[in-house]
Structure 1
Amino acid sequence: MVVFSALLYLFFDGRQFWLEEVKPYLSQQANTASKPDSQTDSSYTKVQSRTPQKQADQYTHQARGDHQHALRRFGRCQPHVGERVKYRVEQGIYTWVDSNGVTNYSDQKPARGAKTYQPRSSRVLDYFDLEISGQTISNQFKNTLSSRLNAIFRGYTGIVGLKAMRKVTLRIQVLPSRGLYERTVKAYGGEPSGTAGVYFGTKNTAFVEQTSYEATMQTAIHEAVHAINQAVIGFSPRWLNEGLAEYFETVEVSMQVGEVKPNNHIAKSGYIKGQVLRPSQLIGAEDTWQSSDPATLYRSSWAFVHFLMSSSHGKQSLKALMLQEQKEPCSSLDYANVKRVLNGSYPNMQSAYAMFLNAQAKPQRL
């Protein structure tokens, strides 16, 4: 009776717990192992995750095109396709971001032989070739989005290091009505059903449905992170691509310092709400993503990335995985290679993740 009461408390409190014995981390699952050349979509979508909770399981997924085929067709599938980030100089002051993602200011160059990067005048973003358009969005929205993306870029740099970063080209178009959003996405060959934003990597363009101020902001950030992912690491597993986008989309900036808050996936008590897949299940879901519950997949992807970003061991694991992806931008790491990288950099990840899921999710500074 005591055990039953405790389980009821945990259930209504929104906390996650595993009743079964913890299985060996990343155990082989032959029926779910993804393949390097598996077919996936040519666009990245943001599901409408801010609908009422009772509708969370009602999303539908449509058939997608072959992302790798689209990359080859438009010539995007090339190593080191992006331009490396360089320092900039204005009025004799040099500015650059170091390998820890920290912005540095000095009257001296950061290194010998480095090339200057002179930003366009009055541009808020130094490291993005960014264009934001929309009939009804304000300058405040544009400036806030730019500030948050700058913070995300610094945080992203802190993961992979400055040498691995690439300059990102992105056009974000905010569409004022659902009807216009659906017609535009369809005109580009995409499927708008169940989404609030779509990023077309081969076009460097993201379309976002305008809803509330903060929801539109988060969707725009989500699609921008997809653009960063493609420019920096290329083609990647869905859980990694969507996990990074979900993680960064709730960033807030104060005094030029970014902080990621886990607002979208936690209950009022601070614990993660809803089902979360084990890492082996999540990584093995690559080939079944379109037929699985999207709410669970997005939540699980966010939770795993948030977990990795919560410790030095986790960040090193994430860095190793992303740098390995960068070596082969035209293909995605398969199940076996993800297992090898994560096991090699974080041997006790399974038990650490179980503890993370049963604790309150904390905000993280970038």
Structure 2
Amino acid sequence: MLSTKWRVLFVFIVLLIAAALIANHLAGRVFNYHDPIGSVRAIYEDIKVEIEIVEEAEQTLIKPSAGSFTTKTVIQNHLPQADTTRCTDVSLGEVKYKRNGNIYTWTDSHGVPYFSDTKPDFAVETLDTDFVEPLDYFELTLQAANLPPSFTEKLRIKLNTVFKVYGQIIGADALKKVRLNLTVFATRSRYEQAIKQRGADPSNTDGIYFHATNSAFIYYRNEQSAMRTAIHEAVHAINKAILGTTPRWLNEGLAEYFEYTNNSMQLVSIEPHLSWISNKHIAQSVFTINWLIGLDNKWQTADDTKLYASSWAAIYFLMDSSKGKQFLKSVMLAEQNSPCSKLTAETLESMLYQHFPQLSKDYKTWLNEPFIKHRF
């Protein structure tokens, strides 16, 4: 007969195994009876990771200074659907360019130089610039009723800016032409009906991007809100076509980043996101970047607001310096070279520290400084 102590220990072990198997089943995993030790180890590792996240999450949050902190309640306006087309190239091929011809130059009798793309009727020098411009970056289909006439043109200009910034980061040769299918609904009821017909939940959203059809549905709350949502969802489609499947922080961070794109004549600027700042300072607690990149599978279960804020802040930080842009270039080109898979958190962290050996210090210092607009 087993002693009472051993019986209690035996019952405890049995209950522990039973609980683990139930959790394993509810998580959708299948227990491998041909490799029971490996399956048990996998269950243990998952449980350990969950415990670590609970214990370490609060320790890895960077909080704004007390003087600048304001609590914001942000309705999550975007909800991308599960990507079932990971290995399908949804781009329209390479971006085509046209040559603008030569530039002619001459100097008048006062020594003033002139430049023109039209040859005058006197002797001039020719500058063979090989200057080219894109015929088109994207093919936009915008379905909407009662939109302001200028909405489509403004959207085109802003999306051209997205492509130009991408070209500055990864190189124009790496760009691909993208098909963008956007549908804008003037009423909330029609927006929600269209989303539900496609098996998604429209609650607390103003826009949803569907990978399978490379299309996005947008609720027209007002022109400014609809424009930001249209840009956000379009960036998801651009990322899908140019980069393939990407880590969630990168995909959402870039989409959030370009929402406040401004165009004036030939000048382009990107403003800090008003949902995440107050008085030019960060208004949300955010994860450190090295911790954020390890949370890719926690977006559906964790605090989405904090994840969106952290992703935007990470991209804004990286866009704020040349070495940050070099890191983004390395990541984006690596993702483009392997469009069917995402870089692992370990690989990303290694690449990150190559560019930012003192990342924690640099990021904390940067977060405490006033946010300024970016110019391109």
TM-score range, shorter chain: 0.7 to 0.9
Pairing partner for 2:66 from 11, 20, 24: 11
Q: Does 1:210 align with 2:223?
A: no
Alignment partners' CA distance in 2, 1:313 and 1:61: 30
- The equivalent of 1:281 in structure 2 is 291
Alignment size in residue pairs: 292
Pairing partner for 1:71 from 85, 88, 93: 85
Asked if structure 1 preserves the Cα contact closer than 8 Å seen for 2:286 and 2:309, the reply is yes
Q: Does 1:189 align with 2:199?
A: yes
Pairing partner for 1:178 from 188, 194, 218: 188
Aligned AA for 2:340?
Answer: C
Give the Å deviation of 1:81.
4.9
The 3 A distance-change label for structure 1 pair 54 and 310 is: closer
Asked if structure 2 preserves the Cα contact closer than 8 Å seen for 1:61 and 1:290, the reply is no
Per-residue deviation, residues 106-127 of structure 1 (Å, max 9, x unmatched): 796839xx9x97x4xxxxxx21
Per-residue deviation, residues 296-333 of structure 1 (Å, max 9, x unmatched): 11110000000000000100001101111111111111
- The equivalent of 1:20 in structure 2 is none
Alignment partners' CA distance in 1, 2:244 and 2:117: 33
Pairing partner for 1:242 from 252, 263, 271: 252
Give the Å deviation of 1:166.
0.6
Give the Å deviation of 1:268.
4.1
The 3 A distance-change label for structure 1 pair 156 and 59 is: closer
- After TM superposition, the structure 1 = structure 2 runs for residues 3-42 of structure 1, keeping only pairs within 5 Å, are 10-14=65-69
Q: Does 1:110 align with 2:130?
A: yes
Alignment partners' CA distance in 2, 1:259 and 1:208: 24
When the two structures are superposed, what TM-score results if normalisation uses the length of structure 2?
A: 0.71
Give the Å deviation of 1:204.
2.1
- After TM superposition, the structure 1 = structure 2 runs for residues 151-166 of structure 1, keeping only pairs within 5 Å, are 151-166=161-176
Pairing partner for 2:137 from 127, 143, 158: 127
Alignment partners' CA distance in 2, 1:252 and 1:65: 28
Give the Å deviation of 1:257.
2.2
Asked if structure 1 preserves the Cα contact closer than 8 Å seen for 2:178 and 2:237, the reply is yes
Alignment partners' CA distance in 1, 2:77 and 2:312: 20
| Equivalent position SS for 2:263 | strand
The 3 A distance-change label for structure 1 pair 54 and 144 is: same
- After TM superposition, the structure 1 = structure 2 runs for residues 36-51 of structure 1, keeping only pairs within 5 Å, are none
| Equivalent position SS for 2:181 | strand
The 3 A distance-change label for structure 1 pair 237 and 106 is: farther
| Equivalent position SS for 2:160 | helix
Asked if structure 2 preserves the Cα contact closer than 8 Å seen for 1:265 and 1:272, the reply is no
- The equivalent of 1:199 in structure 2 is 209
Aligned AA for 1:77?
Answer: T
Aligned AA for 2:152?
Answer: K
| Equivalent position SS for 1:223 | helix
Alignment partners' CA distance in 1, 2:242 and 2:139: 14
Asked if structure 2 preserves the Cα contact closer than 8 Å seen for 1:197 and 1:206, the reply is yes
Alignment partners' CA distance in 1, 2:344 and 2:325: 20
Asked if structure 2 preserves the Cα contact closer than 8 Å seen for 1:85 and 1:167, the reply is yes
Q: Looking at CA atoms only, which structure, 1 or 2, has the larger radius of gyration?
A: 2
The 3 A distance-change label for structure 1 pair 247 and 215 is: same
Alignment partners' CA distance in 2, 1:145 and 1:234: 23
Aligned AA for 1:214?
Answer: Q
- The equivalent of 1:3 in structure 2 is none
| Equivalent position SS for 1:203 | coil
Q: Pairwise CA RMSD of aligned residues?
A: 2.8
Pairing partner for 1:354 from 364, 367, 370: 364
Alignment partners' CA distance in 1, 2:365 and 2:352: 18
Per-residue deviation, residues 50-107 of structure 1 (Å, max 9, x unmatched): xxx6643x76999x9752xx215xxx524x95411221257x589xxxxxxxxxx979
Asked if structure 1 preserves the Cα contact closer than 8 Å seen for 2:77 and 2:207, the reply is no
Give the Å deviation of 1:269.
2.1
- Structure 1 gaps of 5+ residues are 1-8, 16-52, 95-104, 120-125
Alignment partners' CA distance in 2, 1:354 and 1:10: 11
Alignment partners' CA distance in 2, 1:300 and 1:178: 29
Aligned AA for 1:110?
Answer: D
Q: Does 1:262 align with 2:243?
A: no
Q: Does 1:342 align with 2:352?
A: yes
Alignment partners' CA distance in 1, 2:140 and 2:76: 31
Higher RCO (C-alpha under 8 Å, 6+ residues apart): 1
- The equivalent of 2:9 in structure 1 is none
Asked if structure 2 preserves the Cα contact closer than 8 Å seen for 1:160 and 1:319, the reply is yes
Give the Å deviation of 1:192.
1.5
Aligned AA for 2:271?
Answer: K
| Equivalent position SS for 1:13 | coil
Aligned AA for 1:13?
Answer: S
Alignment partners' CA distance in 2, 1:275 and 1:302: 12
